[in-house]
Amino acid sequence: MWDGLTARLAEQAGFNALCASGFAVSAALGLPDAELYTMTENLQAVRTIRESSALPLVADIDTGYGNAVNAARTATRFVSAGVGGMFMEDQVAPKSCPICVGEPVDLITSEEATGKIRAVRDSIPDDVLLIARTDARGDDALRRAQAYVEAGADMIMPVTKTFDTVAQWERCHNEVGVPLMATLTASTWTEREFTPEVLDRIGVRLALLPTQVLMAVAGAARETLRRLASGEAPAEVSADALAHHEFVELIGFPGVEAMQRKYLPAQRSR
C-alpha cells in the first residue's frame, strides 16, 4: 500500500494486515525505489495509511536513513505513527531495489548491520515486530541472518535474489530458528513458486504482495489516460471504470454525512 485509498481497498477486499511498501511509496512520488525520498516523506505516507485503516501495519524503513543512531530515531518515529512492525535492510545508503538494478548491490558490513538492528530493538517496544532484511546471497546471507537474530531481529526477510530455490529458503528457516518474511513481487520466481503450502513448509509467516496492486493501478491509469488523450468520449471511458456511487461509498462520504447530520446545525450541514 502507498496511500489511504489503497489501504481502504485492501481492508475491504478482506486482507488482515497491510504493508507500506517503499517501492510503492517511491512510485507514488514519481520516483524509483532508490531511497530518493526522505524519512519524513515515508513517515507521512505511513501515517496516511494508518489513519485510513484499522488493520495492523508493517512498514518498510529502508536502511533506517543513516547509521545506528539514525535508524533508532527512524524506528521510534514509525512506532509513534502506529506501525505494528517494520523491516530494515543491510544495503549501503542510499539503497536500490535489487530487482531493478544490476548485481550485486552494495552492503554494509555485518557488524554495522547488527549494530543498527540492536539500536532499533533497544528503541522500540517488545511487541513491535522487527524484521531484518538481507540483500546478501547464499552462505553470506545465512551468516548475516543468524547474526541479525542474535542482535534482536524477530524475523528474517531474504529478498527474491537472496536464494535461488525453495530448499535454500527452507534451510535458512531451519538454521536461523525464527519465522521468515517473503516478498511475492510481481514477475519474480517467488511469486510463481511460493504457494501457500510452500510458504508454510519453509517457515514464511508474513508474505507481502508489494507490486501487484501498483502495477495494476498504473496499467489501468495509463490506459484510461491514453483513451482520453486520443479523443475518446469521456462517457465511454467512464463506463469501464468504477461507478461514481461506489467510489463515493468507498472513500467514506456516507459516514461524513451522518456526522454532519448529528453535529452540525441543519442550515450548516452542507
Q: What is the pLDDT of residues 41-96, one digit of tens each?
A: 999 999 999 999 999 999 999 999 999 999 999 999 999 999 999 999 999 999 99
Q: How many domains does the structure of the chain reveal?
A: 2
Question: According to the model, what pLDDT value does residue 263 have?
Answer: 95
Mean pLDDT over each residue of the chain, to the nearest integer = 96
Question: According to the model, what pLDDT value does residue 103 have?
Answer: 77
Q: Over pLDDT 70: what percentage of the chain?
A: 99
- Contact indicator for 137, 161 with CB cutoff of 8 Å: yes
Query: Do residues 108 and 226 both lie within one domain?
Result: no
Query: Do residues 258 and 130 both lie within one domain?
Result: no
Query: Do residues 181 and 107 both lie within one domain?
Result: yes
Predicted structure pTM score: 0.94
181, 211, 241: which is the final residue of a domain?
211
Is the predicted pLDDT of residue 158 greater than 80, yes or no? yes
Section 121-127 average pLDDT: 98
Element (H, E) at 247: helix 244-250
171, 189, 211: which is the final residue of a domain?
211
Q: Residue 237: which domain range?
A: 217-268
Query: Do residues 244 and 196 both lie within one domain?
Result: no
For 250, left (φ over 0), alpha (ψ -120 to 50), or beta?
Answer: alpha
Question: According to the model, what pLDDT value does residue 270 have?
Answer: 55
Distance from C-alpha of 185 to C-alpha of 209, rounded to nearest angstrom: 6
Residue that the C-alpha cell 543468524 belongs to: 146
Query: Do residues 188 and 76 both lie within one domain?
Result: yes
Query: Do residues 125 and 84 both lie within one domain?
Result: yes
Q: What is the CATH number of the domain that holds 159?
A: 3.20.20.60
The counts of H helices and E strands in the chain are 13, 7
Report helix, strand or coil for 77: helix
Query: Do residues 159 and 113 both lie within one domain?
Result: yes
Q: Over pLDDT 90: what percentage of the chain?
A: 96
Section 185-202 average pLDDT: 97
Ramachandran angles phi, psi of 267, nearest 5°: -75, -10
Q: What is the pLDDT of residues 211-255, one digit of tens each?
A: 999 999 999 999 999 999 999 999 999 999 999 999 999 999 999
Name the band, by pLDDT with cuts 50, 70 and 90, for residue 268: low
Query: Do residues 258 and 148 both lie within one domain?
Result: no
Residue that the C-alpha cell 465511454 belongs to: 236
Is residue 154 part of the annotated active site? The answer reads: no
Query: Do residues 88 and 164 both lie within one domain?
Result: yes
DSSP 8-state secondary structure symbol assigned to residue 156: E
Question: According to the model, what pLDDT value does residue 266 have?
Answer: 81
Query: Do residues 56 and 78 both lie within one domain?
Result: yes
Query: Do residues 203 and 258 both lie within one domain?
Result: no
Query: Do residues 28 and 161 both lie within one domain?
Result: yes
Name the band, by pLDDT with cuts 50, 70 and 90, for residue 101: confident
Question: According to the model, what pLDDT value does residue 234 have?
Answer: 97
Catalytic residue selected from 33, 62, 90, 135:
33
